[in-house]
Structure 1
Amino acid sequence: MNAARRAPARDGAPTDTAPTVAFDFAHRLLALSAWVRRQRWLQGLYRLFPQRARDGVSSILAYRASRRARFVRTPAWSRPIPPLAAAAAAAPVVGGGAGVNILGYLRGQFGLAESARMYARALIGAGYPVALFDVSIAIPHGVDDRSVDAHIGEGTPHPTSIVFVNPDYLQPALEHIGAERLRGKRLIACWFWELQDIPHDWLESIELVDEIMVASEFVKEAFERVTDKPVFRVPLPLSPVPDSGLQRSDFGLPEDAFVFLCSFDFNSWVDRKNPFAVIEAFRRAFPDGGDNVRLMVKTSNAHRHPDKFLRLLTASAQDPRIVVRDEVIDRAHVCALQRCADVYVSLHRAEGFGLGLAECMAMGKPIIGTAWSGNLDFMDADNSCLVGYRLVPVGEGEYPHPQGAHWAEADVDEAAAHMRKLAGSPQFARELGARAKRDIEQRLSPALAASLLAQRLDAPAAAMRGAHAGGAQP
């Protein structure tokens, strides 16, 4: 099964042919489970089993397949990872100020949690007073990021709090934080959303906060359609991230191939991330089966979504040059994997921001991405390979969407053409990556984000409400 198969050994790098048979067996069991659920004549018998038992069997099978899709550990994986602080030093550009409490999943290993840490690091690096409180409620994500532990405490001493918890979890999060920590504070929610329309059941949560902070114009416009409360944008600040130093051989990638990278978390809705379009574009771009290109599909939490995982494995199995790896790995290893790739590809149907795209652009990597939603805050025709699209209805079960919601369906043939051009034109790829790096350094700098956010935090809440009513935006 190619999702577990590693490229032939180079320079003494180990191979992982041993687990292939076991992985293929787990994959076959997953396929059998899905096949049973599709057979009408078996559905009656299948339903006799409790739903919890059915889900448990699927999860166990998916977990086994996911374990077989992990990266094979070379000795380099055991090297100490450099601390984040060593790569995140910044000269103070703000200093002083009223201060802010940042409340969120500060140890979470997913996008919203990383966003909270990014804003916190930008403010700390700028010398702005910050207190961090970890919201440790039960969520279906890894919670083993310890990079800001030195700043986490139990107090909320500052007059304003920003909570990084989306509306569907806001009420339990506020209960966890406690009324005493929230009393008398100006409460700002930092929220991400991926569609033009905000779900109706989020409206109650809007009433619990004073203001809404977003990272992109796309999300800002969505919230402004449903509330008169102040909505303001502060771009995500991209600080340098430590690189673990892993090389292509440590990720099972050949040194001489042109590597495309696609990555996503299964918890972030597979149909929204749309890796199947990336796989199809890759196959159309290089139909001759040449061995000088690779597509790495890096995922996490596949075992929580067995049917979607099976669909991904089945799609990737059609081409041995496509490698699936599913695992939550340290942020420094993610950085190393991004460095090892030649091009990052995202044919998403919708993005609230597009962190993976921005991170790779900051490294000087050429990017292929859908020309729609939050990523257009930092992607344009000069610094990226934008892919055209048509708006289509969001399908049932594809995403928690309001009735009538639409999102983008990327043009796969156009994406394939971009892949061919980048793989065949190294000079063009380098120049595109250089422009991307330059623009990200300007548009998503920690100093810019810290300055904008500090100005907002230090302005009286009443002034912000008046500015919003008059149409002014920071």
Structure 2
Amino acid sequence: MTCTGVYWVGPVYDMGGYGNVSRNYLRALEAAEIPVHIAPTMASSHRLEIGEETVQWLEKLSTGKIGDSPVCIQHGVPAHFHMHVPSMSTKKTIGITLFETDRVPQDWPSQCNRMDELWVPSKFNYDTFSRSGVDASKLRVVPYPINVTRFYPGRPYNQIVFSPPLRKFSFLYVFGFDFRKGVDLLIDAFCREFGRDEDASLVLKAYVHSGYTPEKVMSVIRSYAPEERLFSQIIVIVEPFEEQELIDLYLNCDAYISVDRAGWGMPAMEMMSLGKPAIGLNWGGYTEFMNKENSVLIEPEKELVPVDAKLQSERPEYYRSHMWADIRQESVGKAMRELYENRSRRERIGRKAAFDMHFRYSPAAIGNKIKELLGMSR
């Protein structure tokens, strides 16, 4: 079947990970000159955070002229795939999703198998979805693109005045606040590895999702961090940031670190695209775009462990009986120390990271892959 355009359903105005991914896929469609009609999901309350320029771009990109053989692409969790009915006839329905444990939630395979195709961003998720009962013949690996016109080495940025100032070397972690993000593990690893008098800072930028408040997030992080380290060596930011402010934050810090067992890790990808060194897990979606040549990998233990008990209790429909990587604070500290001590390694992997992100994961590169999957000539 030859596709003439895409009817895109996704959280394009959301500031979180799903929204960022939706917008980057749309940039890939734009780069491939595939006409697209955008049907936003979720409330557009984050329009101000994504910036007026991005809002105007989305509005300009969306068109009703997507031909007589468009496909519908539904981006989000599988339970939402069937909530939006396209306002026009489409020839095929494709779902895009991911999950971060060793399997998918119990009701996902049946929901995914109702799709004509299912796109996941990594070989890791191809394996976990197919093992869980999703029809392997429907699965395609389509990595997440990165907006290389915004994230590139040497781009101008604004200096951020921190009070107190950052120390000589600073690690950054950007995450949507959730107990699965491992911020407790990271704080513990940092405090054990670096003394109070060492020239190292840890900057935590938390996005506050619905169900939490900035005060609650600060309270939880305070419970993890020694009082004498908080705001002197461990900097916490919970205020909303626009994209330019986030880029400024990336470029004011020296290295990125993530201990999130998430399905991908877009902030790590953004930092790498800027030519900055990054640390990620040698497990999950990170393995799709991070390797020993372009990053520092935290090695998990050989055996998987049960997902955090709090998550299993609070969200049993997602996490009950699931397993994920066992990450020890010693391994996290070792990776941080390696970057801190080894300037030549930082510079080498930063250059390779930028090259890989721009060459392999640009909107043009991923757009060509999508075009092939949709049966459209280049």
- So what's the TM-score if we normalise by structure 2? 0.84
Aligned to 1:119: 25
8 Å contact from structure 1 (residues 238, 444) kept in 2: yes
**Which of 186, 198, 202 is the equivalent residue of 1:295?**
202
How far 1:358 moved relative to its partner?
Answer: 1.1
CA distance 1:418–1:217, shift in 2 (3 Å): same
Please tell me whether residue 234 in structure 1 is matched to residue 142 in structure 2: yes
Q: Secondary structure at the match of 1:389?
A: coil
Equivalent-residue separation in structure 2 for 1:302 and 1:227 (angstroms):
29
Per-residue Cα deviation, 1:390-419 (whole angstroms, up to 9, x for no partner): 321013331643542111132211221222
* Change in 2 beyond 3 A, CA 1:123/1:224: same
Partner Cα separation in structure 2 for residue 258 and residue 135 of structure 1: 40
Judge conservation of contact 2:280–2:297 (CA < 8 Å) in 1.
Answer: yes
User: What does residue range 24-43 of structure 1 map to in structure 2 within 5 Å?
Assistant: none
2:285 aligned partner: 374
Which of the two has higher C-alpha Rg? 1
Residue matched to 1:388: 299
Cα distance in 2 for residues equivalent to 1:149 and 1:159: 19
- CA–CA separation in structure 2 for the residues paired with 1:231 and 1:325: 38
**1:176-203, CA deviations, whole angstroms, 9 ceiling, x for partnerless residues?**
xx3543x343010111211121111223
Measured in 2, the distance between the counterparts of 1:396 and 1:416 equals 24
Equivalent of 2:273 in 354, 362, 369 = 362
Match of 1:150 among 53, 56, 60: 60
- Cα deviation, 1:11-31, whole Å, max 9, x if unaligned, reads xxxxxxxxxxxxxxxxxxxxx
Equivalent of 1:186 in 80, 88, 92: 92
The correspondence of residues 209-288 of structure 1 with structure 2, limited to 5 A, is 209-225=115-131, 226-228=133-135, 229-240=137-148, 241=150, 245-249=157-161, 251-252=162-163, 254=165, 257-266=168-177, 270-287=178-195
**CA offsets 1:249-281 (integer angstroms, 9 cap, x no match):** 1x5473652111011112xxx232101111111
Correspondence 1:341 to 2:245: no
Partner in structure 1 of residue 103 of structure 2? 197
Q: Give the Cα–Cα distance (whole angstroms) in 1 for the partners of residues 360 and 31 of structure 2.
A: 17
Equivalent residues in 2 for 1:453-472, closer than 5 Å: 453-458=370-375
- In structure 2, relative to structure 1, the CA distance for the partners of 1:392 and 1:280 (3 Å cut) is same
Q: What is the count of residue pairs matched by the alignment?
A: 352
Deviation at 1:130, TM superposition (A): 2.0
Answering whether residue 323 of structure 2 is matched by residue 406 of structure 1, we say yes
Question: Residues 433 and 232 of structure 1: is their aligned pair in 2 closer, same or farther, counting only changes over 3 Å?
Answer: same
Cα deviations by residue, 1:9-54 (Å, 9 ceiling, x for unpaired): xxxxxxxxxxxxxxxxxxxxxxxxxxxxxxxxxxxxxxxxxxxxxx
Partner residue of 2:223? 314
C-alpha root-mean-square deviation of aligned residues, in Å? Answer: 2.6
The 3-state SS of whatever aligns with 1:262 is strand
Output the CA distance in 2 between the equivalents of 1:155 and 1:340: 43
Which residue does 1:436 correspond to in 2? Answer: 353
SS at structure 2 position matched to 1:236: coil
Contact 1:244 1:333 in 2 (8 A): no
Kindly indicate whether the alpha-carbon contact (under 8 Å) linking 1:99 and 1:457 is maintained by their aligned counterparts in 2: no
Summarize deviations over 1:189-236 as a string: whole Å, max 9, x none: 111211121111223422442110111111122222212251101111
Which SS does the other structure have where 2:107 is aligned? Answer: helix
Q: State the Cα deviation string for residues 255-314 of structure 1 (Å, max 9, x = none).
A: 652111011112xxx232101111111111212x12622111000116733656422122
Question: 1:57 aligns to what?
Answer: none
Residues 5 and 66, structure 2, Cα contact 8 Å, conserved in 1 = no
Q: 2:40 aligned to 123, 135, 150, which one?
A: 135
Aligned-residue offset at 1:360: 1.0
User: Which ranges in structure 1 are unaligned for 5 or more consecutive residues?
Assistant: 1-95, 461-474
SS at match of 1:148: helix
Counterpart secondary structure, 1:227: coil
- What TM-score, normalized by structure 1, do the two folds share? 0.68
Greater fraction of residues in helix: 1
2:80 to 158, 169, 179: 169
Give the aligned partner of residue 332 of structure 1: 244
Work out the CA distance in 2 between the residues paired with 1:291 and 1:282.
11
Identify if the C-alpha distance between structure 1 residues 435 and 129 changes in structure 2 by more than 3 Å, giving closer, same or farther. closer
